[in-house]
Amino acid sequence: VTIIGIFILRRTRPDTPRPNRAHGYPVIPLLYVVLASAFCVVLLVSPATARDSGMGLLLVALGVPAYFLFGKRFAGPK
């Protein structure tokens, strides 16, 4: 997800200074996104790992509502 942010920020904020370079942009970051996505799909489709991967995905998905429910309550001072 963070690598996709490179593409989004370069499109939405082209004038922002960039102290760090994304080497090989756009080929290397795009290749990373494609390979990481393929890896996740293989884990979810493979019968040997589908159950464990599905449970992990469910656990991560449960964190989204928890973030919105508790995020503001435990946020630091503004």
Answer yes or no: is pLDDT of 64 > 70: yes
If pLDDT is split at 50, 70 and 90, which confidence band does 20 have? confident
| 42 secondary structure, DSSP code | H
Task: Determine the average pLDDT of the residues in 13-35.
Answer: 92
pLDDT at 76: 64
- pTM score: 0.66
Pick the residue with more confidence: 72 or 54?
54
Helix H or strand E segment including 51: helix 50-70
CA gap 32, 73 in Å, rounded: 36
For residue 34, is pLDDT > 70?
yes
